[in-house]
Protein backbone atom coordinates (compact mmCIF):
# COMPACT_ATOMS: atom_id res chain seq x y z
CA UNK A 1 0.00 0.00 0.00
CA UNK A 2 1.53 3.36 -1.00
CA UNK A 3 2.13 5.95 1.68
CA UNK A 4 -0.63 8.39 0.69
CA UNK A 5 -0.85 11.72 2.57
CA UNK A 6 -3.49 11.88 5.31
CA UNK A 7 -4.54 15.52 4.80
CA UNK A 8 -5.32 15.54 1.07
CA UNK A 9 -5.92 13.29 -1.93
CA UNK A 10 -3.22 12.90 -4.57
CA UNK A 11 -5.55 11.89 -7.37
CA UNK A 12 -2.87 10.95 -9.91
CA UNK A 13 -1.22 8.46 -7.55
CA UNK A 14 -4.54 7.12 -6.25
CA UNK A 15 -5.89 6.55 -9.78
CA UNK A 16 -2.74 4.73 -10.89
CA UNK A 17 -2.75 2.57 -7.77
CA UNK A 18 -6.44 1.63 -7.97
CA UNK A 19 -6.44 1.08 -11.73
CA UNK A 20 -3.60 -1.42 -11.40
CA UNK A 21 -5.55 -3.35 -8.77
CA UNK A 22 -8.76 -3.23 -10.81
CA UNK A 23 -6.96 -4.53 -13.89
CA UNK A 24 -5.48 -7.39 -11.92
CA UNK A 25 -8.87 -8.25 -10.43
CA UNK A 26 -10.54 -8.03 -13.84
CA UNK A 27 -7.98 -10.34 -15.45
CA UNK A 28 -8.51 -12.94 -12.75
CA UNK A 29 -12.30 -12.65 -12.89
CA UNK A 30 -12.66 -12.66 -16.68
CA UNK A 31 -10.28 -15.59 -17.10
CA UNK A 32 -12.55 -17.78 -14.97
CA UNK A 33 -15.73 -18.49 -16.92
CA UNK A 34 -17.00 -20.58 -14.00
CA UNK A 35 -16.58 -17.80 -11.42
CA UNK A 36 -19.45 -17.76 -8.92
CA UNK A 37 -20.20 -14.12 -9.78
CA UNK A 38 -20.09 -14.57 -13.54
CA UNK A 39 -23.86 -14.79 -13.95
CA UNK A 40 -24.29 -11.64 -11.82
CA UNK A 41 -21.78 -9.85 -14.06
CA UNK A 42 -23.63 -10.93 -17.20
CA UNK A 43 -26.95 -9.75 -15.79
CA UNK A 44 -25.40 -6.40 -14.80
CA UNK A 45 -24.04 -5.88 -18.32
CA UNK A 46 -27.39 -6.77 -19.87
CA UNK A 47 -29.40 -4.53 -17.53
CA UNK A 48 -27.10 -1.55 -18.11
CA UNK A 49 -26.33 -1.90 -21.80
CA UNK A 50 -28.07 1.41 -22.59
CA UNK A 51 -25.00 3.25 -21.23
CA UNK A 52 -22.39 0.63 -20.32
CA UNK A 53 -21.44 -0.44 -23.85
CA UNK A 54 -20.77 3.13 -24.98
CA UNK A 55 -18.96 4.00 -21.76
CA UNK A 56 -16.66 0.96 -21.85
CA UNK A 57 -15.78 1.51 -25.52
CA UNK A 58 -15.18 5.21 -24.88
CA UNK A 59 -12.80 4.46 -21.99
CA UNK A 60 -10.99 1.80 -23.99
CA UNK A 61 -10.49 4.22 -26.89
CA UNK A 62 -9.31 6.93 -24.49
CA UNK A 63 -6.49 4.62 -23.39
CA UNK A 64 -5.47 3.90 -26.97
CA UNK A 65 -5.42 7.63 -27.74
CA UNK A 66 -3.44 8.34 -24.54
CA UNK A 67 -6.35 10.28 -22.95
CA UNK A 68 -6.68 12.74 -25.86
CA UNK A 69 -10.18 14.28 -26.06
CA UNK A 70 -12.56 12.33 -28.31
CA UNK A 71 -13.01 15.30 -30.69
CA UNK A 72 -9.37 14.71 -31.72
CA UNK A 73 -9.74 10.99 -32.49
CA UNK A 74 -9.66 9.58 -36.00
CA UNK A 75 -12.80 10.53 -37.99
CA UNK A 76 -14.35 7.06 -38.06
CA UNK A 77 -14.51 6.46 -34.33
CA UNK A 78 -14.97 10.16 -33.52
CA UNK A 79 -18.08 10.29 -35.68
CA UNK A 80 -19.26 6.82 -34.55
CA UNK A 81 -19.27 5.32 -38.02
CA UNK A 82 -20.90 1.87 -37.70
CA UNK A 83 -18.01 0.04 -39.36
CA UNK A 84 -15.49 1.86 -37.16
CA UNK A 85 -17.48 1.07 -34.02
CA UNK A 86 -17.56 -2.63 -34.87
CA UNK A 87 -13.84 -2.65 -35.66
CA UNK A 88 -12.88 -0.96 -32.39
CA UNK A 89 -15.24 -3.14 -30.35
CA UNK A 90 -13.56 -6.26 -31.71
CA UNK A 91 -10.03 -4.87 -31.41
CA UNK A 92 -10.52 -3.66 -27.83
CA UNK A 93 -12.83 -6.41 -26.54
CA UNK A 94 -10.57 -7.33 -23.64
CA UNK A 95 -10.12 -3.71 -22.53
CA UNK A 96 -13.86 -3.12 -22.86
CA UNK A 97 -14.61 -6.07 -20.57
CA UNK A 98 -12.12 -4.70 -18.03
CA UNK A 99 -14.03 -1.42 -17.83
CA UNK A 100 -17.34 -3.24 -17.53
CA UNK A 101 -15.95 -5.29 -14.65
CA UNK A 102 -14.85 -2.12 -12.82
CA UNK A 103 -18.38 -0.74 -13.10
CA UNK A 104 -19.86 -4.06 -11.97
CA UNK A 105 -17.70 -4.00 -8.84
CA UNK A 106 -18.50 -0.38 -8.05
CA UNK A 107 -22.26 -0.82 -8.31
CA UNK A 108 -22.15 -4.05 -6.31
CA UNK A 109 -20.16 -2.45 -3.51
CA UNK A 110 -22.31 0.69 -3.58
CA UNK A 111 -25.49 -1.37 -3.18
CA UNK A 112 -23.94 -3.11 -0.16
CA UNK A 113 -23.17 0.30 1.37
CA UNK A 114 -26.63 1.64 0.61
CA UNK A 115 -28.30 -1.42 2.12
CA UNK A 116 -26.25 -0.93 5.28
CA UNK A 117 -27.23 2.74 5.44
CA UNK A 118 -30.90 1.89 5.05
CA UNK A 119 -30.59 -0.46 7.99
CA UNK A 120 -29.18 2.39 10.06
CA UNK A 121 -31.91 4.82 9.01
CA UNK A 122 -29.48 6.87 6.91
CA UNK A 123 -30.55 8.38 3.58
CA UNK A 124 -28.02 9.21 0.88
CA UNK A 125 -28.35 12.38 -1.18
CA UNK A 126 -26.65 12.44 -4.55
CA UNK A 127 -26.06 15.12 -7.13
CA UNK A 128 -26.94 15.56 -10.79
CA UNK A 129 -25.04 18.44 -12.39
CA UNK A 130 -27.13 20.02 -15.11
CA UNK A 131 -24.17 19.82 -17.50
CA UNK A 132 -21.73 17.07 -18.45
CA UNK A 133 -18.10 17.30 -19.55
CA UNK A 134 -17.45 17.72 -23.25
CA UNK A 135 -14.83 14.97 -23.16
CA UNK A 136 -17.26 12.33 -21.92
CA UNK A 137 -18.98 9.19 -23.13
CA UNK A 138 -22.31 11.04 -22.90
CA UNK A 139 -21.39 13.72 -25.44
CA UNK A 140 -19.49 11.32 -27.71
CA UNK A 141 -22.39 8.82 -27.75
CA UNK A 142 -25.15 11.43 -28.12
CA UNK A 143 -23.67 14.36 -30.08
CA UNK A 144 -27.10 15.24 -31.47
CA UNK A 145 -28.16 16.44 -28.00
CA UNK A 146 -25.37 19.01 -27.72
CA UNK A 147 -24.43 22.16 -29.55
CA UNK A 148 -21.33 20.98 -31.41
CA UNK A 149 -19.61 21.86 -34.66
CA UNK A 150 -18.68 19.36 -37.39
CA UNK A 151 -15.40 18.55 -35.65
CA UNK A 152 -17.20 17.77 -32.38
CA UNK A 153 -16.17 20.93 -30.54
CA UNK A 154 -18.73 23.02 -28.66
CA UNK A 155 -20.17 26.09 -30.34
CA UNK A 156 -21.51 27.53 -27.07
CA UNK A 157 -20.55 26.72 -23.49
CA UNK A 158 -22.01 26.98 -20.02
CA UNK A 159 -21.21 29.35 -17.18
CA UNK A 160 -22.72 32.02 -14.97
CA UNK A 161 -22.39 35.82 -14.96
CA UNK A 162 -20.30 37.76 -12.40
CA UNK A 163 -21.53 36.99 -8.88
CA UNK A 164 -20.57 36.59 -5.22
CA UNK A 165 -17.91 34.05 -6.19
CA UNK A 166 -16.23 35.73 -9.16
CA UNK A 167 -15.99 39.25 -10.57
CA UNK A 168 -15.75 37.89 -14.15
CA UNK A 169 -18.30 35.12 -13.74
CA UNK A 170 -17.62 31.41 -14.01
CA UNK A 171 -16.71 29.91 -17.37
CA UNK A 172 -17.45 26.21 -16.97
CA UNK A 173 -16.80 25.14 -20.55
CA UNK A 174 -19.47 22.42 -20.72
CA UNK A 175 -21.31 22.13 -24.05
CA UNK A 176 -24.90 23.41 -24.00
CA UNK A 177 -27.89 21.26 -24.87
CA UNK A 178 -30.04 21.30 -27.97
CA UNK A 179 -33.21 21.28 -25.90
CA UNK A 180 -35.47 21.02 -28.95
CA UNK A 181 -33.80 17.74 -29.93
CA UNK A 182 -34.07 16.46 -26.38
CA UNK A 183 -37.78 17.32 -26.30
CA UNK A 184 -38.38 15.52 -29.61
CA UNK A 185 -37.09 12.30 -28.01
CA UNK A 186 -39.27 12.76 -24.93
CA UNK A 187 -36.10 13.76 -23.06
CA UNK A 188 -35.11 10.07 -23.12
CA UNK A 189 -31.43 10.65 -22.28
CA UNK A 190 -32.35 12.83 -19.29
CA UNK A 191 -34.97 10.43 -17.98
CA UNK A 192 -32.51 7.54 -18.21
CA UNK A 193 -30.03 9.71 -16.32
CA UNK A 194 -32.58 10.49 -13.60
CA UNK A 195 -33.61 6.85 -13.31
CA UNK A 196 -29.99 5.71 -12.94
CA UNK A 197 -29.31 8.27 -10.21
CA UNK A 198 -32.44 7.33 -8.29
CA UNK A 199 -31.18 3.74 -8.16
CA UNK A 200 -28.13 5.04 -6.31
CA UNK A 201 -29.60 7.72 -4.05
CA UNK A 202 -32.64 8.43 -1.92
CA UNK A 203 -32.65 12.14 -2.75
CA UNK A 204 -31.03 13.97 -5.64
CA UNK A 205 -29.87 17.58 -5.73
CA UNK A 206 -30.31 19.19 -9.15
CA UNK A 207 -27.18 21.28 -9.46
CA UNK A 208 -27.76 24.65 -11.17
CA UNK A 209 -31.52 24.18 -11.20
CA UNK A 210 -31.99 27.71 -12.54
CA UNK A 211 -30.53 26.53 -15.86
CA UNK A 212 -33.72 24.58 -16.54
CA UNK A 213 -35.62 27.89 -16.56
CA UNK A 214 -32.92 30.01 -18.24
CA UNK A 215 -29.20 29.40 -18.73
CA UNK A 216 -26.15 31.58 -19.30
CA UNK A 217 -24.90 31.02 -22.85
CA UNK A 218 -21.29 31.95 -23.59
CA UNK A 219 -19.68 31.80 -27.07
CA UNK A 220 -17.14 28.97 -27.20
CA UNK A 221 -14.33 31.39 -28.07
CA UNK A 222 -15.05 33.80 -25.17
CA UNK A 223 -12.27 34.45 -22.66
CA UNK A 224 -14.61 35.08 -19.69
CA UNK A 225 -18.21 34.31 -18.77
CA UNK A 226 -18.99 38.03 -18.74
CA UNK A 227 -19.47 37.79 -22.54
CA UNK A 228 -22.55 35.57 -22.17
CA UNK A 229 -26.31 36.11 -22.22
CA UNK A 230 -29.43 34.53 -20.70
CA UNK A 231 -31.38 32.07 -22.88
CA UNK A 232 -34.64 30.34 -21.99
CA UNK A 233 -34.39 26.68 -20.92
CA UNK A 234 -36.91 23.83 -21.29
CA UNK A 235 -38.95 24.88 -18.23
CA UNK A 236 -42.04 23.10 -16.94
CA UNK A 237 -42.43 20.89 -20.01
CA UNK A 238 -39.21 19.11 -19.10
CA UNK A 239 -40.31 18.27 -15.56
CA UNK A 240 -43.84 17.32 -16.61
CA UNK A 241 -42.38 14.78 -19.03
CA UNK A 242 -40.00 13.51 -16.35
CA UNK A 243 -42.82 13.22 -13.82
CA UNK A 244 -45.00 11.28 -16.25
CA UNK A 245 -42.19 8.76 -16.76
CA UNK A 246 -40.79 8.52 -13.23
CA UNK A 247 -43.93 9.33 -11.17
CA UNK A 248 -41.98 10.58 -8.14
CA UNK A 249 -39.25 13.23 -8.37
CA UNK A 250 -37.40 13.29 -5.02
CA UNK A 251 -35.33 16.29 -6.10
CA UNK A 252 -33.81 19.20 -4.24
CA UNK A 253 -33.34 22.33 -6.34
CA UNK A 254 -29.98 24.09 -6.06
CA UNK A 255 -31.51 27.54 -6.42
CA UNK A 256 -28.47 29.69 -5.65
CA UNK A 257 -27.05 32.51 -7.75
CA UNK A 258 -29.06 34.80 -10.00
CA UNK A 259 -32.53 33.52 -9.10
CA UNK A 260 -35.59 35.14 -10.64
CA UNK A 261 -39.29 34.85 -9.78
CA UNK A 262 -39.64 32.55 -12.81
CA UNK A 263 -37.04 30.14 -11.39
CA UNK A 264 -38.79 30.04 -8.02
CA UNK A 265 -42.19 29.57 -9.68
CA UNK A 266 -40.82 26.55 -11.57
CA UNK A 267 -39.38 25.07 -8.38
CA UNK A 268 -42.61 25.54 -6.43
CA UNK A 269 -44.76 24.22 -9.28
CA UNK A 270 -43.16 20.80 -8.83
CA UNK A 271 -42.69 20.97 -5.07
CA UNK A 272 -38.89 20.80 -5.06
CA UNK A 273 -37.33 22.04 -1.78
CA UNK A 274 -34.80 24.82 -2.32
CA UNK A 275 -31.49 25.49 -0.58
CA UNK A 276 -30.31 28.14 1.84
CA UNK A 277 -26.69 28.86 2.80
CA UNK A 278 -26.23 30.78 6.02
CA UNK A 279 -22.96 32.31 4.78
CA UNK A 280 -24.99 34.17 2.13
CA UNK A 281 -27.45 35.66 4.62
CA UNK A 282 -25.52 38.70 5.80
CA UNK A 283 -23.91 40.34 2.78
CA UNK A 284 -25.22 42.18 -0.25
CA UNK A 285 -26.46 39.11 -2.11
CA UNK A 286 -29.94 39.96 -3.49
CA UNK A 287 -31.16 36.67 -2.04
CA UNK A 288 -29.75 37.55 1.39
CA UNK A 289 -33.09 38.06 3.16
CA UNK A 290 -34.33 34.60 2.08
CA UNK A 291 -31.20 33.03 3.59
CA UNK A 292 -31.92 34.46 7.05
CA UNK A 293 -33.47 31.84 9.33
CA UNK A 294 -36.46 33.97 10.34
CA UNK A 295 -37.55 33.76 6.70
CA UNK A 296 -37.01 30.01 6.28
CA UNK A 297 -39.82 27.74 5.15
CA UNK A 298 -40.10 24.12 6.24
CA UNK A 299 -39.63 22.85 2.68
CA UNK A 300 -35.96 23.80 2.66
CA UNK A 301 -32.49 22.31 2.92
CA UNK A 302 -30.43 24.63 5.13
CA UNK A 303 -26.62 24.60 5.12
CA UNK A 304 -23.98 26.50 7.05
CA UNK A 305 -22.09 26.60 3.74
CA UNK A 306 -21.69 24.44 0.64
CA UNK A 307 -18.88 22.81 -1.29
CA UNK A 308 -18.35 25.96 -3.38
CA UNK A 309 -17.97 28.13 -0.29
CA UNK A 310 -15.02 28.63 1.97
CA UNK A 311 -15.40 26.84 5.29
CA UNK A 312 -17.31 28.91 7.85
CA UNK A 313 -14.13 29.63 9.83
CA UNK A 314 -12.27 30.46 6.59
CA UNK A 315 -15.09 32.73 5.42
CA UNK A 316 -15.12 34.53 8.78
CA UNK A 317 -11.36 35.07 9.07
CA UNK A 318 -10.23 35.69 5.47
CA UNK A 319 -10.16 39.08 3.75
CA UNK A 320 -12.34 37.84 0.90
CA UNK A 321 -11.00 40.57 -1.38
CA UNK A 322 -10.10 39.24 -4.83
CA UNK A 323 -12.17 36.10 -4.33
CA UNK A 324 -15.54 37.66 -5.15
CA UNK A 325 -17.28 40.89 -6.05
CA UNK A 326 -17.26 42.07 -2.41
CA UNK A 327 -15.17 45.08 -1.36
CA UNK A 328 -13.36 45.43 1.96
CA UNK A 329 -16.18 47.68 3.16
CA UNK A 330 -18.77 45.10 2.10
CA UNK A 331 -16.95 42.47 4.14
CA UNK A 332 -16.77 44.67 7.24
CA UNK A 333 -20.48 45.44 7.05
CA UNK A 334 -21.24 41.76 6.46
CA UNK A 335 -19.41 40.75 9.64
CA UNK A 336 -21.02 43.47 11.72
CA UNK A 337 -24.45 42.36 10.57
CA UNK A 338 -23.60 38.70 11.22
CA UNK A 339 -22.68 39.48 14.84
CA UNK A 340 -25.80 41.56 15.36
CA UNK A 341 -28.15 39.05 13.79
CA UNK A 342 -26.75 35.96 15.51
CA UNK A 343 -26.06 37.75 18.78
CA UNK A 344 -22.56 36.51 19.50
CA UNK A 345 -19.17 37.99 20.28
CA UNK A 346 -16.18 35.69 20.57
CA UNK A 347 -17.71 32.23 20.50
CA UNK A 348 -16.46 29.82 17.79
CA UNK A 349 -18.26 31.01 14.66
CA UNK A 350 -18.64 27.48 13.26
CA UNK A 351 -20.68 26.34 16.28
CA UNK A 352 -22.79 29.51 16.17
CA UNK A 353 -23.61 28.69 12.55
CA UNK A 354 -24.26 25.01 13.30
CA UNK A 355 -26.62 25.82 16.16
CA UNK A 356 -28.48 28.39 14.04
CA UNK A 357 -29.07 25.99 11.15
CA UNK A 358 -30.07 23.08 13.40
CA UNK A 359 -32.45 25.31 15.36
CA UNK A 360 -34.20 26.52 12.19
CA UNK A 361 -37.54 25.25 10.89
CA UNK A 362 -35.95 23.82 7.72
CA UNK A 363 -36.88 20.17 7.33
CA UNK A 364 -33.31 19.23 6.40
CA UNK A 365 -30.11 20.71 7.84
CA UNK A 366 -26.71 19.85 6.37
CA UNK A 367 -23.41 20.68 8.03
CA UNK A 368 -20.15 20.19 6.07
CA UNK A 369 -17.70 18.13 8.11
CA UNK A 370 -15.11 20.91 7.82
CA UNK A 371 -17.48 23.16 9.79
CA UNK A 372 -18.06 20.50 12.44
CA UNK A 373 -14.27 20.28 12.84
CA UNK A 374 -13.84 24.08 12.83
CA UNK A 375 -11.31 24.05 9.98
CA UNK A 376 -10.11 27.09 8.04
CA UNK A 377 -9.57 27.86 4.37
CA UNK A 378 -6.96 25.13 3.98
CA UNK A 379 -9.83 22.64 4.16
CA UNK A 380 -11.96 24.39 1.52
CA UNK A 381 -13.37 21.86 -0.92
CA UNK A 382 -13.75 23.92 -4.09
CA UNK A 383 -13.01 27.40 -5.40
CA UNK A 384 -15.38 28.10 -8.33
CA UNK A 385 -13.75 29.24 -11.55
CA UNK A 386 -10.44 27.47 -10.83
CA UNK A 387 -9.14 24.27 -12.41
CA UNK A 388 -6.57 22.93 -9.95
CA UNK A 389 -6.31 22.17 -6.27
CA UNK A 390 -9.99 21.40 -5.69
CA UNK A 391 -11.77 18.45 -4.04
CA UNK A 392 -8.56 17.33 -2.35
CA UNK A 393 -9.39 17.75 1.33
CA UNK A 394 -9.32 14.48 3.22
CA UNK A 395 -10.95 13.67 6.54
CA UNK A 396 -8.85 12.04 9.24
CA UNK A 397 -10.97 9.96 11.67
CA UNK A 398 -8.88 11.11 14.61
CA UNK A 399 -10.02 14.69 13.96
CA UNK A 400 -13.56 13.92 15.15
CA UNK A 401 -12.77 14.02 18.85
CA UNK A 402 -15.03 12.87 21.66
CA UNK A 403 -15.71 16.50 22.63
CA UNK A 404 -16.82 17.40 19.09
CA UNK A 405 -19.02 14.31 18.84
CA UNK A 406 -20.69 15.13 22.14
CA UNK A 407 -21.32 18.73 21.15
CA UNK A 408 -22.85 17.71 17.84
CA UNK A 409 -24.94 14.99 19.52
CA UNK A 410 -26.25 17.49 22.08
CA UNK A 411 -27.32 20.04 19.46
CA UNK A 412 -28.82 17.35 17.24
CA UNK A 413 -31.00 16.11 20.09
CA UNK A 414 -31.81 19.55 21.38
CA UNK A 415 -33.35 20.61 18.08
CA UNK A 416 -35.04 17.29 17.21
CA UNK A 417 -32.77 16.54 14.28
Do residues 285 and 291 make contact, with C-beta atoms less than 8 angstroms apart?
yes
Per-residue pLDDT tens for 28-87? Answer: 999 998 899 999 999 999 999 999 999 999 999 999 999 999 999 999 999 999 999 999
Task: Pick 397 or 237 by higher pLDDT.
Answer: 237
In 206-300, alpha helices (H): 236-246, 261-269
pLDDT-derived band at 327 (thresholds 50, 70, 90) equals: confident
pLDDT of residue 387: 81
Is 308 a catalytic site residue? Answer: yes
Tell me what percent of the residues of the chain surpass a pLDDT of 70. 98
Tell me what percent of the residues of the chain surpass a pLDDT of 90. 88
- Asked whether the CA dihedral 252, 292, 233, 218 is positive or negative, the reply is negative
Per-residue pLDDT tens for 10-19? Answer: 999 999 999 9
- Ordered by start, the domain boundaries in the chain are 8-122, 125-414
Per-residue pLDDT tens for 168-207? Answer: 888 999 999 999 999 999 999 999 999 999 999 999 999 9
Buried b (16+ CB within 10 A) or exposed e, 323-338: bbebeeeebeebbeeb
- State yes or no: pLDDT of 167 exceeds 80: no
Largest alpha-carbon pair distance within the chain?
71
pLDDT of residue 330: 85
Query: Exactly one of 207, 217, 227, 299 is catalytic; which is it?
Result: 207
Q: At what angle do helices 349-359 and 402-414 cross, to 10 degrees?
A: 30
pLDDT of residue 51: 96
* Mean pLDDT of all residues in 404-408: 97
Among the residue ranges 151-155, 257-261, 292-296, the one predicted with the least confidence is 257-261
Is 207 a catalytic site residue? Answer: yes
Q: Mean pLDDT, the chain, as a whole number?
A: 95
* Mean pLDDT of all residues in 91-120: 97
Query: Exactly one of 308, 310, 323, 371 is catalytic; which is it?
Result: 308
Q: Is 367 exposed, middle or buried (0-12, 13-18, 19+ CB in 10 A)?
A: buried
pLDDT-derived band at 375 (thresholds 50, 70, 90) equals: very high
Q: Is 160 exposed, middle or buried (0-12, 13-18, 19+ CB in 10 A)?
A: buried
Q: Domain 125-414's class? A: alpha beta
Query: Exactly one of 95, 213, 254, 323 is catalytic; which is it?
Result: 254
Stated pTM of the model:
0.91
Task: Pick 324 or 101 by higher pLDDT.
Answer: 101
pLDDT-derived band at 284 (thresholds 50, 70, 90) equals: confident
Amino acid sequence: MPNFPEEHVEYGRVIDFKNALLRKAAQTFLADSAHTDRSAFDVFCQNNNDWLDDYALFMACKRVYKEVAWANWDPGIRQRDSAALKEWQEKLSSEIETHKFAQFEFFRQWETLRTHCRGCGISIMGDIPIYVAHDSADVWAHPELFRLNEQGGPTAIAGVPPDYFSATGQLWGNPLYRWNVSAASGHRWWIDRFRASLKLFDLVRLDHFRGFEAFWEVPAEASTAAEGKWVKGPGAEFFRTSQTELKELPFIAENLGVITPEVEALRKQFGFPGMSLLQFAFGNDPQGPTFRPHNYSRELVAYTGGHDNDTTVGWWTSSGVGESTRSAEDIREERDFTRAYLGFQNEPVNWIFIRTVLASVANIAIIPLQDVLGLGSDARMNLPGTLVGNWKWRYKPSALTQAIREQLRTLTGLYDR
